[in-house]
Amino acid sequence: MPNPDTIPSSQITPQDTYLNRRNFMRAGLTAASLLATGAAYRGLNRPGSTAVETPRLANLVVHTGPDGRGNGFQLDEPLTPLQSVTNYNNFYEFTTNKEAVAAASQQFVSKPWTVTVDGLVQKPKVFDLDEILQISPPEERAYRMRCVEAWSMVIPWAGFSLSRLLKKVEPLGKARYVAFETLLDPSRMPGQKSATLDWPYVEGLRLDEAMHPLTLLASGLYGRELPPSNGAPLRLVVPWKYGFKGIKSIVRITLTDMQPKTTWNNAAAHEYGFLANVNPGVPHPRWSQSTEQRLGESGRRETLMFNGYAEQVAHLYAGLDLRKNF
Ligand SMILES: Nc1nc2c(c(=O)[nH]1)N[C@H]1C(S)=C(S)[C@@H](COP(=O)(O)O)O[C@H]1N2
Ligand SMILES: [Mo]
């Protein structure tokens, strides 16, 4: 059914999309940074940064809505410049140097690509990436991202709710969790030749978290396919959780009845919990989580409970002691 609050991207110019949105104007972006954002894919020529041209998404749906903000996905906060989003990354499969990921991953080939969805489901299936992308047209959703190392961003992701894919395979009644796995291929992901982490990278969510409409399978950002640095061709985005939950370059999604292992919890359980909900009141053992550095801004911001998504997700954790379940 056509949604009056959505317009196909073919009817929106890039100018409308990124330069004219009332909320970004109100957020006070300067003319210079607006221009920089619009021009980012045309010329990422800051010394030391890597420009990766990925194809524009043809069928991107941009939610507008009466207040111009679109179904709660748009924020009254400026978008983080594309150059920062694609040149300051954690992706240990390539390198542990955040500023070197873009160059190290530039040649990564993510076509063809399949994603196996299996485990406690009625209809397990190996999907071609194209089949997954056809489940729903990608929607643009600007989400706050908060990394455990205390930097943050606002990124216009393109993707669709993971729940749509999970419904396709028909979870069984006893399924309680969803496990995710990144590609294991040291010839294509050279960081996997070092034992910096246990490979492949794995992550997990409770099934109710995975089914929440904010939980996104993203195949793009800034109106383009994902660059390798940000998890091409398909990655998870869970905006109320710390960044490490957003597993990149996913090849397997498995429904289980037991809490799955997760890479950072395996590496240091006292530092990285399974839930990993953004919580300014629970410090990381080695640093505070109460404030954050928004990339591209000077000064720090207060970190918000559940990264500002409490209204949408707090009910999922009612009755849980979030100091113990961090
Ligand atoms: N496969 C894989 N996924 C990963 C990581 C990684 O090293 N490998 N790093 C995580 C961490 S710690 C963060 S903060 C985010 C960073 O995502 P971004 O580079 O798109 O901002 O990716 C997460 N997903
Ligand atoms: Mo992170």
How far is CA 40 from its chain centroid?
Answer: 20
If you measure from the C-alpha of residue 237 to the centroid of ligand 1, how many angstroms do you get, rounded to a whole number? 10
Helices (DSSP H) in 215-297: which residue ranges? 263-267
Out of 216, 248, 271, 292, give the residue to mutate to test ligand 1, the one with the largest number of ligand atoms within 8 Å of its CB.
248
Q: Give the separation between CA 304 and CA 186, rounded to whole angstroms.
A: 38
Closest residue (by CA) to atom 21 of ligand 1?
Answer: 89
> What is the Å distance from ligand 2's center to 234 Cα?
18
Place of tokens 């009254």: 76
Ligand 1 atom, smallest distance to 200 CA: 1
Query: E strand or H helix at 202, and its extent?
Result: strand 202-206
Please indicate whether residue 83, judged by its CB atom, sits closer than 6 Å to ligand 1. no
In angstroms, the CA 244 to CA 236 distance is 10
Q: In the CATH scheme, what is the code of domain 4-317?
A: 3.90.420.10
Global pTM?
0.87
For residue 231, report the distance from its CA to the centre of ligand 1, in Å.
8
The H or E element spanning position 146 is strand 139-146
Q: Is 293 helix (H, G, I), strand (E, B) or coil?
A: strand
Domain spans of the chain? 4-317
pLDDT at 305: 98
Query: Is residue 204 in contact with ligand 1, taking CB distance under 6 Å?
Result: no
Report pLDDT for 76. 80
* Mean pLDDT (10-residue bins), the chain, 326 residues: 39 35 35 37 53 90 66 77 96 98 97 98 98 95 96 96 98 98 98 97 98 97 97 98 98 98 98 98 97 95 97 96 96
